[in-house]
A and B are shown apart, each in its own frame.
Chain A
Amino acid sequence: MRPPSSLKQEFLKKWITGLQRCSSSKRNMSILERTKAIKLSADVAMASARNSTTCWSRALIANASKDGSDGKHLVEQILGLESERLMMKKASTGALVCNKRIRSKKILKRSCRIPRTRKCVPQVALATSIAKRMVRKRTQVLKSLIPGGEFMNEVSLIEETLDYIISLRVQVDVMRGLAGVSELVNHN
């Protein structure tokens, strides 16, 4: 695992370059636009710091650089050559893998619909089914939270969550530090 210091540094560098580039494009931005730009550049920097080793980072960059969205230029500027490499990767592997997963899940669902004869105590069955339903609901919510989470199975979902939480923390730390510093600077 990369030590968090180098992760923070990398994130910081990429974020700052992204911000500079995006500020150079537009001069007058409303606060909302600026917010979006900041957040986007932070997210993209965070994702690129992972060097597309994780699924969520790829998905995040892919979402950011969708055709017709604001982020495409930004992504291209931040990542430069890397973005092309990432797009190539994504095109070749990501879509196929996702489709495979979706197909396999459909097959599984169809097979599960075939009723299985089980000898269970009805109370136990009820409790377990309730628990399963709860877990399923929550995994659905988690999948919606994590970028690119819909295509993952449970195990990889948890791994991605772990990585995502770590990178979110790094992001928050750096942003908080920067916000504090710039606030102090601007007060004087």
Chain B
Amino acid sequence: MNTASPKMLQCSDMTVLERQNACLKWQQEQLQQQQQQEQQSYFSELSGVFSSQVQGFQGGLVSGDSVLGDMVMTRQVKPDPGLETAWHEMEKVDMAAMGFGPCGYSNGPDFDMNYAISRTSSCPTFVAAAVAAQAVEVKGKESIVSEKMGSTVGRGSFKKRKVDTLQNSKVVAEDDSKRIKACAEEGESKITGPNTNKSSSSNNKNKKETSTGTSKENSKVSDVQKPDYIHVRARRGQATDSHSLAERVRREKISERMKYLQDLVPGCNKITGKAGMLDEIINYVQSLQRQVEFLSMKLAAVNPRPDFNIDNLFAKDVFPSCATNFPAVGMSSEMANNPPYVQFNPVEQVVSSCGLEMGINSLDMALRRTISAPVSIPYASFLDSSCFTQIQPSATWDVELQNLYNVAFDQEGSMPFPSQPFTGTLLEKQNWGPELI
């Protein structure tokens, strides 16, 4: 709770800074144009800036644009009427203080104006106090106004920063409904907690940004009065009771899982929508299951006994090489006790996509070497084969490979090597079609 307000202020500071910079730049242009009436132009512009700031907030509310450029535009329009009304305000406001107003809390790079102001002002000491007071005032106003703007207006940098503050600081909701929403979101973030923080936070950010993006600009006016970030998230016309909230959380979970599935199932990138995705998933699962059946039939056909004469295979030094290559496929990072699907990173994709090729390639290489080269194949040359370049081997992998390779060498029998040169890839032979039996 305490962390929320300074962060809000920081947000508002940044936006104010940006606005300040834009204002100052515009003011400099104005200065160059109106060099005749220096003093008057300074004060008028200052007053114009100041008044336009105050007016600009209200103007921003009305105009409904939170993007900085647009605000600059409005402010460019404003000061002309602002100039006229400025003199009235100048009477009320201390001019020197006003002069320091912009430079008091603007740390922007355009300081020429500020130096000019410092030259013209006469009493800096109690100006500072006044400036501080005003700065606080203005900041307070701005924070409230920025909240209002954020709640009424539906897009832009405000939104993103507020999403960040909401994520970083668990906002204390003022109403029960808001608390429920916060809890739902917290719960959601906790559920996705076991995921890597980066992926979950990015996912959350994306989700929340999309949800805020979909919230329409013309949200109800009643939302304006409550300075609350969670209202930004509520879509228009949607109930805020716990049922629909829970449902929304559930739906978002499902869509997140569907995204993982999209990465996993090939050819799903173009398909949006649940039904099509489910179709593809069903087809893929069915095809994989059919593959397993065909392969088991093929294995049964090839071998007279189900144990495949494994001793012979081991003796031929071909089988263990394919078994040893499997650790090469693996990754060095291991997660413990997480649900298996969770760590679905691009690395896994790479592995799973090239795992097959690597397995086959390794078999291929192993067979070629057993055919052509003598038995004492150097360990290093085997490692240098191209299929290992994609994945960095870890230290444990080296040790494993070496051990298994030594074992394989020990078990080698006197079986003759296959004489046929093995040229084609194994994949060509893997047509699990009717040629089996």
Give the residues from 47 to 96 in chain A that come closer than 8 angstroms, CB to CB, to chain B: 50, 53-54
Interface of B is mostly: helix
- Closest Cβ neighbor of B324 among chain A residues: A9
Partner of B307, one of A23, A155, A181: A23
Residue pair A173, B291 in contact (C-beta under 8 Å): no
A12-B323 contact, Cβ under 8 Å, with A166-B341, A177-B359: yes
Chain A residues lying within 8 Å of B310, measured Cβ to Cβ, are: 16, 19-20
A125 on interface, CB distance cutoff 8 Å: no
Residue pair B292, A155 in contact (C-beta under 8 Å): no
Residue pair B338, A35 in contact (C-beta under 8 Å): no
B236 on interface, CB distance cutoff 8 Å: no
B253 on interface, CB distance cutoff 8 Å: yes
Q: How far is the CA of A184 from the CA of B297 in the complex (A)?
A: 16
Residue pair B285, A168 in contact (C-beta under 8 Å): yes
B197 on interface, CB distance cutoff 8 Å: no
Give the residues from 352 to 371 in chain B that come closer than 8 angstroms, CB to CB, to chain A: 352, 355-356, 359-360, 363, 367
Residue pair B330, A4 in contact (C-beta under 8 Å): yes
Chain B residues lying within 8 Å of A12, measured Cβ to Cβ, are: 323, 326
| Stretch in B19-27, B199-207, B416-424 with 4+ CB within 8 Å of A | B416-424
Residue pair A175, B420 in contact (C-beta under 8 Å): no
Chain B residues lying within 8 Å of A8, measured Cβ to Cβ, are: 326, 329, 355, 359
B261 on interface, CB distance cutoff 8 Å: yes
Residue pair B328, A5 in contact (C-beta under 8 Å): yes
Q: How far is the CA of A176 from the CA of B429 in the complex (A)?
A: 10
Q: How far is the CA of A31 from the CA of B352 in the complex (A)?
A: 31
A179 on interface, CB distance cutoff 8 Å: yes
Q: How far is the CA of A42 from the CA of B330 in the complex (A)?
A: 21
Partner of B292, one of A31, A158, A175, A187: A175
A159-B328 contact, Cβ under 8 Å, with A179-B299, A182-B313, A184-B367: no
Chain A residues lying within 8 Å of B326, measured Cβ to Cβ, are: 5, 8-9, 12
Residue pair B296, A175 in contact (C-beta under 8 Å): yes
Chain A residues lying within 8 Å of B338, measured Cβ to Cβ, are: 1
B258 on interface, CB distance cutoff 8 Å: yes
Minimum CB–CB distance for A73 against chain B, Å? 14
Residue pair A155, B430 in contact (C-beta under 8 Å): no
Partner of A22, one of B303, B306, B342, B430: B306
A178-B308 contact, Cβ under 8 Å, with A53-B340, A162-B257: yes
A158-B257 contact, Cβ under 8 Å, with A42-B292, A165-B288: yes
Residue pair B254, A158 in contact (C-beta under 8 Å): yes
Minimum CB–CB distance for A164 against chain B, Å? 7
B141 on interface, CB distance cutoff 8 Å: no
Residue pair B418, A188 in contact (C-beta under 8 Å): yes
Q: How far is the CA of A54 from the CA of B281 in the complex (A)?
A: 19
A97 on interface, CB distance cutoff 8 Å: no
Chain B residues lying within 8 Å of A169, measured Cβ to Cβ, are: 288, 352
Chain A residues lying within 8 Å of B296, measured Cβ to Cβ, are: 35, 38-39, 42, 175
Partner of B285, one of A146, A154, A171: A146
Chain B residues lying within 8 Å of A126, measured Cβ to Cβ, are: none
B274 on interface, CB distance cutoff 8 Å: yes
Minimum CB–CB distance for B421 against chain A, Å? 12
Residue pair B308, A54 in contact (C-beta under 8 Å): no
- Closest Cβ neighbor of B425 among chain A residues: A180
A163-B323 contact, Cβ under 8 Å, with A4-B329, A37-B306: no
Chain A residues lying within 8 Å of B343, measured Cβ to Cβ, are: 1
Minimum CB–CB distance for A178 against chain B, Å? 7
- Closest Cβ neighbor of B250 among chain A residues: A155
* Chain B positions 298 through 322: 1 when the CB is less than 8 Å from some CB of chain A, otherwise 0: 1111110111111011001011001
Residue pair B278, A138 in contact (C-beta under 8 Å): yes
Chain B residues lying within 8 Å of A185, measured Cβ to Cβ, are: 309, 312-313, 316, 318, 418
Residue pair A135, B275 in contact (C-beta under 8 Å): yes
Can you list the 5 inter-chain pairs with the closest CB atoms, starting with the nearest? A5-B330, A3-B330, A34-B300, A162-B341, A138-B278
Beyond the given A2-B334, A166-B341, please list 15 additional residue pairs across the A-B interface where CB-CB is below 8 A. A1-B348, A4-B355, A12-B323, A23-B307, A31-B300, A54-B340, A135-B275, A142-B281, A154-B250, A161-B281, A165-B261, A168-B288, A169-B288, A176-B360, A183-B298
A residues with a Cβ closer than 8 A to B are 1-6, 8-9, 12, 16, 19-20, 22-23, 29, 31-32, 34-35, 37-39, 41-43, 50, 53-54, 131, 134-135, 138-139, 141-142, 145-146, 154-155, 158-159, 161-166, 168-169, 171-188
28 interchain pairs, CB-CB under 8 A: A2-B335, A4-B329, A4-B348, A4-B351, A5-B328, A5-B331, A9-B323, A9-B326, A19-B310, A35-B296, A39-B292, A42-B296, A131-B275, A155-B250, A159-B339, A162-B257, A165-B284, A165-B285, A169-B352, A171-B292, A173-B355, A177-B363, A177-B426, A179-B430, A181-B313, A182-B303, A184-B418, A188-B418
